[in-house]
DNA sequence: CATTCATTGTGCGCATAACGCACAAAACGA
DNA sequence: TCGTTTTGTGCGTTATGCGCACAATGAATG
């Protein structure tokens, strides 16, 4: 089979780009906003937005378009078709309950990780992000675990593809340093990220393996740096995570 | 502004229908599968699938197409743009920790409810469903709360739009009976669904209100029928839920 | 192994869907 | 009130997308 332009739908591609124009800071957009964000002609943007509205994926208040819950069906089509999050969820809950911290599971998508499961115990605002949330892989604990699981050439390419801004004064951004860190993660079997993504936030992550030992995802425990030292995370949290890893490994095909 | 066919993109609409063809029982599909499920011509289905693959939203193994995590960006566009789930999440966690049960929050989308937040405590397999999951509103506790919040005419129309199969021997399906039940839910301020959705599953739900008292979502506690009686749910769980409702109400705008 | 059936890749002619530009009207902000 | 920005829509153009047909491939069956 050949890859040809005639085998794809330009309008569909444009429409998907329009959906992705919405995010945390852009909850509702005008036609001009969408044209600017996507680079599409204003009339084209308008047609995409009206298509979404006509099908119930968006609302229009006379000026602004906003997405509706129906759009969740699109992401749900993936989550529903992927057994891993459902398998991992109870283990994250057990781990979260045992440690009293937030636990999450994510997979690598390009240069980002995307959360596919989470569990949290704290009465205060959760550290964990919602399912579907994304973080840059280069400075997230689970991201480093997942990058480390790639062939080194592939991992390096993905790191290069990332802008790698210093999100805190502690963020490591140098290519050679990050590649060395990935090598260290490969060796020790876990990644510990200490206030690189966000000041006050510390996380430790290990791979989620399948029965063949292949890395299918990563899971982590995140906590406030003021409450748990890195040493304590390695001494106390890591063994419990590895115990869960073993249990999960015997189930995930 | 007029609603005209020329203002929409046919290919985009077809593409979205193709994404929605994937679900729990259809994790990977052939071109012929998609054509059958969507009613589209085979060549059109093929183009949509190839467009998704070209853009990284799907993988192709030579025969089967499956969605990739990138598709989560589409649903994430909505979740990221909606503050309610993030606001409600810590309250669900507190409630879940206090009661030892699974708690969830959902909104109404047509004739279904869609989960937008959840918290769970149990070491056994969670009762709660993942964010993005959907349930038929007519026989779910949160569904009844959300239907009860609609004008009666609107609620009746949505009930009629639903197939309403009896999912268990206890499922109530009669229109008049359900409308009376919605009236009762309006009066008492909560819905209790007892093994109607699934044998062994019992859930109680109340509205999530905003500062204006408008119903924005519903939240519930679900548990195993063998462990908690309906009376106990009303006596013990309901007051705690109502306390959370008050706290949430003072924040949600 | 041959046959039958289902599926897929692809060519291709055709029709119209989609494009993008332009202009008038409306909305907004100073 | 004026200037700027945005929007709704008309419209001529074109190339996109359609769907049918056919050959090739794969799977199932006898």
Q: What is the pLDDT of residue A124?
A: 44
Token pair listed for B151: 């004008």
Tokens for B24, please give them. Answer: 């729990």
Asked, for residue A40, whether it belongs to a domain, the answer is yes
Distance from CA of A170 to the nearest CA of B (A): 27
CATH number, residue A63: 1.10.10.10
Amino acid B89: pLDDT = 86
Cβ of residue A47 near strand C, that is under 7 Å?
yes
Nearest 5 degrees, angle CA A154-CA A158-CA A162?
165
The predicted model scores a pTM of: 0.79
Contact B24 A69 (CB under 8 A): no
Q: A120 and A102 in contact (C-beta within 8 Å)?
A: yes
Name the residue facing A109 among B14, B70, B81 (closest C-beta).
B70
Asked whether residue A33 falls in the same domain as residue A121, the answer is no
- State whether B8 and A50 contact (CB < 8 Å): yes
Chain A residues 134-193 with CB within 8 Å of chain B: 134
* Nearest CA among B72, B44, B77 for reference residue B58: B72
Domain boundary among the residues B24, B41, B71 is at B71
- On chain B, the residues whose CB falls within 8 A of the CB of A15 are 9, 11-12, 15-16
Residue B64 lies in a domain: yes
DSSP for residue A133: -
Cβ neighbourhood burial of A155 (10 Å; 0-12, 13-18, 19+):
buried
Question: Does the residue B169 lie in any domain?
Answer: yes
Q: Does any CB of chain B come closer than 8 Å to the CB of residue A50?
A: yes
Nucleotide nearest to B60 (CA to C1'): C8
Interstrand relation of A65-67 and A112-119 (parallel, antiparallel or unpaired):
unpaired
- B13, B41, B71: which is the final residue of a domain? B71
- What does the alpha-carbon distance between residue B129 and residue A55 come to, in Å, rounded to a whole number? 26
Total residue length of chain B: 253
- pLDDT above 70 covers what percent of chain A? 95
For residues A67 and A180, membership in a common domain is answered with no
Chain B residue with CA closest to A71: the answer is B75
Is the pLDDT score of A5 beyond 80? no
Taking an 8 Å cut-off on Cβ atoms, the answer to whether A9 and B77 are in contact is no
Give the strand pairing for A215-224 and B28-29.
unpaired
ipTM score over 0.85, yes or no = no
Compute the average pLDDT of residues A119-135: 66
* pLDDT-wise least confident of A180-189, A200-209, B51-60: B51-60
Do A143 and A93 sit in the same domain of this protein?
A: yes
Convert B136-174 to b/e letters by CB count within 10 Å (16 or more is b). Answer: bbbbbbbbbbbbbbbeeeebbebbeebebeebeeebebe
| Residues A234, A112 share a domain | yes
Q: Tell me what pLDDT residue B147 has.
A: 96
DSSP characters over B25-94? TBSEE-HHHHHHHH---HHHHHHHHHHHHHTTSEEE-SS-EEE-GGGHHHHHHHHHT-SHHHHHHHHHHH
Judged against a pLDDT cut of 70, whether residue A109 lies above it is answered with: yes
Contacts of A253 in chain B (CB under 8 A): none
**Strands ordered across the beta sheet of B28-29:** B28-29, B65-67, B58-60
- pLDDT value at position B8? 84
pLDDT at A122: 55
Residues B162 and B101 in one domain: yes
Chains A and B form CB pairs within 8 A to the count of 228
- In chain A, which among 87-116 make CB contacts under 8 A with chain B? 89-90, 93-94, 97, 107, 109-110, 114, 116
The total number of structural domains that make up chain A: 2
**DSSP letter assigned to residue B236:** I
Three-point CA angle B202, A68, B89, nearest 5°: 50
Residue A160 contacts residue A173 (beta carbons within 8 Å): no
pLDDT of residue B220: 95
Is there a domain that residue A178 lies in?
yes
Q: Residue A207 — pLDDT band, cuts 50, 70, 90?
A: very high
Per-residue model confidence as pLDDT tens for chain B (253 residues): 666 777 888 889 999 999 988 887 788 888 988 998 888 889 899 999 999 998 889 988 888 888 888 888 887 777 777 778 888 988 998 898 888 888 999 999 889 898 888 887 654 445 557 777 788 999 999 999 999 999 989 999 999 988 898 989 999 999 999 999 999 999 999 999 999 988 889 999 999 999 889 999 999 999 888 888 999 999 999 999 999 999 999 988 7
Same domain, A50 and A135: no
- A24 CA from C22 C1′ (Å): 35
Same domain, B135 and B13: no
- The answer to whether residue B76 is domain-embedded is no
3-state secondary structure of A171: coil
Residue-range definition of the domain harbouring residue B97: 82-249
Tell me, what CATH number does B106's domain have? 3.30.450.40
Cα A150 to Cα A143, A207, B69: the distances in Å are 11, 12, 17
pLDDT of residue A24 exceeding 80, the answer is no
Whether A77 and B67 lie within 8 Å, measured CB to CB: yes
A136 in the same domain as A105 = yes
Following DSSP, what letter does each residue of B79-111 receive, concatenated? HHT-SHHHHHHHHHHHHHHHHTSEEEEEEEETT
Q: Which helix (H) or strand (E) holds A241?
A: helix A238-249
Chain B partners within 8 Å of A217 (Cβ):
none
Q: Are residues B121 and B218 in the same domain?
A: yes
Same domain, A228 and A199: yes
The verdict on residue B77 lying in a domain is: no
- Choose among A251, A89, A126: nearest CA to B120: A89
Q: Is B206 helix (H, G, I), strand (E, B) or coil?
A: strand
* Vertex B189: Cα angle to B188 and B190 (nearest 5): 95
The answer to whether residues B156 and B40 belong to one domain is no
Query: Is A76 within a domain?
Result: no
Domain end marker among A16, A48, A71: A71
State whether A59 and A177 are in the same domain: no
């Amino acid at each position: 089979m050949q890859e040809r332009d005639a085998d794809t739908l330009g309008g569909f591609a444009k429409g998907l780009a329009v959906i992705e124009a919405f995010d945390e800071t852009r909850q509702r957009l005008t036609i001009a906003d969408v044209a600017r964000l996507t680079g599409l002609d204003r009339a084209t943007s308008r047609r995409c937005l009206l298509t979404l509205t006509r099908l119930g994926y968006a609302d229009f208040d006379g000026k602004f378009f906003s997405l509706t819950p129906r759009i969740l069906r699109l992401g749900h089509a993936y989550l529903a078709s992927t057994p891993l999050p459902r398998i991992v969820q109870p283990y994250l809950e057990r781990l979260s309950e045992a440690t009293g911290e937030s636990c999450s599971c994510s997979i690598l998508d390009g240069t980002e990780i995307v959360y596919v499961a989470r569990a949290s115990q704290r009465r205060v605002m959760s550290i964990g992000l919602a399912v579907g949330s994304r973080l840059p892989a280069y400075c997230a604990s689970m991201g480093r675990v997942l990058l480390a699981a790639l062939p080194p050439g592939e991992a390096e390419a993905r790191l290069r593809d990332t802008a790698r801004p210093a999100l805190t004064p502690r963020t490591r951004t140098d290519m050679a340093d990050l590649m060395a860190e990935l090598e260290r993660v490969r060796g020790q079997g876990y990644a510990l990220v200490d206030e690189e993504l966000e000041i006050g936030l510390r996380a430790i992550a290990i791979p989620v393996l399948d029965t063949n030992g292949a890395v299918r995802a990563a899971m982590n425990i995140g906590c406030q740096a003021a409450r748990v030292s890195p040493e304590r995370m390695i001494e106390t949290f890591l063994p419990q995570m590895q115990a869960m890893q073993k249990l999960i490994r015997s189930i995930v095909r």
